[in-house]
Amino acid sequence: MQTNPFREKIKVLLADDHPSVLLGVKAYLSTQKHIEIVGEATSGESAVELSRELSPDIAIIDIGMPGMSGIEATFIIKEQIPGIKIIIFSMHDDREYVLQFLRCGASAYVLKKSSPEELLCAIECVMKKGAYFSPPIAEMLLKEHQTGFTMKPEMKLTPREEQVLRHVARGKSSKQIAPLLHVQERTITKHRQHLMEKLNIHTVAELTQYAISKKLIELDRR
């Protein structure tokens, strides 16, 4: 007999431009008594719109959709409706896609080749305020973290540099960061350049990895 581990049904929004994927995921999740599919989107724009309209607990979003990508949609949803938890559901397992996911604020990354039970596990995990990664993704992140980035012992970040780094690692541009820190855009640009020189880091993705390794940001931004 199926039991409900949650007091209320988990409201789920599905976003994928492949009808067969939507149909399969919906068919499986609809058999779970503690899950309610409240909407389906086939583009990033509609995922954002339905998130505003339906306020689901979780949005399961594909990365590659026409128009606005799943990554962009996730970032907008997390900025505008931070209470919604995002599960990235993708066929991609390469490093750059996963690092984009870390920047945009999702709580889980599940590969499409995973079993339906694994997707259900991810849903239940993030609802319990956790994070979930398909095993190949978890292994990759562990190796990235273990390899990490090291600064020279004398190199320490100032409080302002840490502030800028947190915002950059969350995907914000210099233009977006400037009003948050009450400075001009060119000042933030200089901070970014100085951070990269100071840490011997050359891309935003590497800055994000560094911020995570130093616990300046969390893996799941809720």
pTM: 0.65
Pairing of strands 58-61, 108-111: unpaired
Question: pLDDT tens-digit profile of 88-109?
Answer: 999 888 777 777 777 777 889 9
Query: Can you say how many angstroms the Cα of residue 220 is from the centroid of all Cα atoms in its chain?
Result: 7
Amino acid at 102: L
Residue 75 has pLDDT above 50, yes or no: yes
Whether 45 shows a pLDDT value over 50: the answer reads yes
Distances (CA, A) of 208 to 25, 39, 51, 65, 153: 31, 32, 26, 24, 20
Q: What are phi and psi of 17, to 5 degrees?
A: -90, 5
Question: In which element (H, E) is residue 10 found?
Answer: strand 10-15
What is the Cα–Cα distance from 52 to 32, expressed in whole angstroms? Answer: 25
pLDDT at 50: 97
Q: CATH 3.40.50.2300 spans which residues of the chain?
A: 10-145
What is the CATH architecture assignment of 10-145? 3-Layer(aba) Sandwich (3.40)
Instruction: Say which residues have a Cβ less than 8 Å from residue 78's Cβ, sequence separation at least 6.
Output: 84, 86, 104, 105, 106, 221
State how far the Cα of 176 lies from the Cα of 183, in Å rounded to an integer: 11
- Given 3.50.50.60, 3.90.1010.10, 1.10.510.10, 1.10.10.10, which CATH number is that of 159-213? 1.10.10.10
For residue 62, give the nearest of 32, 21, 30 by alpha carbon. 21
For 108-141, the pLDDT digits (tens) are: 999 999 999 999 999 999 998 888 899 988 888 7
Q: Which residue has the tokens 């931070």?
A: 82
What is the location of CATH 1.10.10.10 in the chain? 159-213
How many residues would you count in the chain? 222
